[in-house]
Structure 1
Amino acid sequence: MNNTRFATSIHILTLLALKPAEWLSSEFIAGSININPVIVRKEIIALTAAGIIQTKKGKEGGAQLNRPASTIYLSEILEIVSTSDLLGRKNLSTNSKCIIGKQINKKLDVIFERTDYVVKESLGKLSLADFLKQF
């Protein structure tokens, strides 16, 4: 997995947790992340659909957390933004006549599942409020 969706979403949510009473614009958030506001808006759409944040349109609009930061866990954010397996994909057309090729995907399944479990379990112990305390 080589994308920044998780990091971008955590950045957005951490800003919203820092200023819970304010409606933060995508331009403001994008300025903190140093990315295009369009990318921020795409993540805001996904986070809104998941019920993590709420948005308000208009001049005084923006985004806010929809739940207390203490009830939002980083594992939940990973689940929202993940589009593929954590370690990537396996090679599906391995050589079935090779001792490694014919078995590797079964062996990788175990590693991939274990890694996904460990990462999700670890992130499931860290709330957005806990993460914010680091700043």
Structure 2
Amino acid sequence: MVNQQFTFAVHILTALAFAGEKMDSQRLAASVNTNPVVIRRLLIGLRRAHLIETCAGKHGGTRLSKKPAQISLLQVYDAVQPRPVIAINKRKVLRHCRVSCKMREIMSGVAAGTEEAVRQHLREITLQQLLREVRRPA
């Protein structure tokens, strides 16, 4: 199941795009309304995915490493979401239960289809589109 990490990561990147300048983890945490430690952990994955650049020190901070139009939500998802949307039950199959015998196979197909649909949808949305929504008057 997708957790808050994805939502927080998208929020971080959108805040960076909106600001157009380096932001430190304190400022990002205030925007997301979470602890700076949570932000710093997410920044690691985003940096490994080459979506951001970070600089340490007094004048350090984080900024986007690409233009918002070049960052898809799928890239963000892949950077911070290690598990699939639907997890398959890996427990021992009960041989005397017909349902137990078939569910892994059945749900594997459901999970694969769901994951592909999610990935396709996220592939079509860019950070630039989200930024446009943020800038739209209320």
TM-score normalised per structure 1: 0.94
The root-mean-square deviation of aligned C-alpha atoms, in Å, is 1.2
Unaligned runs of 5+ residues in structure 1 are: none
- For 1:65, the equivalent position in structure 2 comes to 64
Unaligned runs of 5+ residues in structure 2 are: none
- For 1:98, the equivalent position in structure 2 comes to 97
- Cα-to-partner distance string for 1:23-57 (whole Å, 9 max, x where unaligned): 10100000011111011011111111111000111
The Cα of 1:95 is off from its aligned counterpart by 1.0
- For 1:27, the equivalent position in structure 2 comes to 26
Aligned mates of 2:103, 2:79 — CA distance in 1: 29
- For 1:15, the equivalent position in structure 2 comes to 15
Q: Which amino acid aligns with 1:96?
A: R
Aligned mates of 2:50, 2:84 — CA distance in 1: 23
Moved over 2 A (4+): none
Name the structure with the higher helix share.
Answer: 2
Pairwise mapping of residues 53-132 of structure 1 onto structure 2 (< 5 A)? 53-132=52-131
TM-score normalised per structure 2: 0.92
| Identical pairs, percent | 28
- Residues paired across the two proteins, number: 134
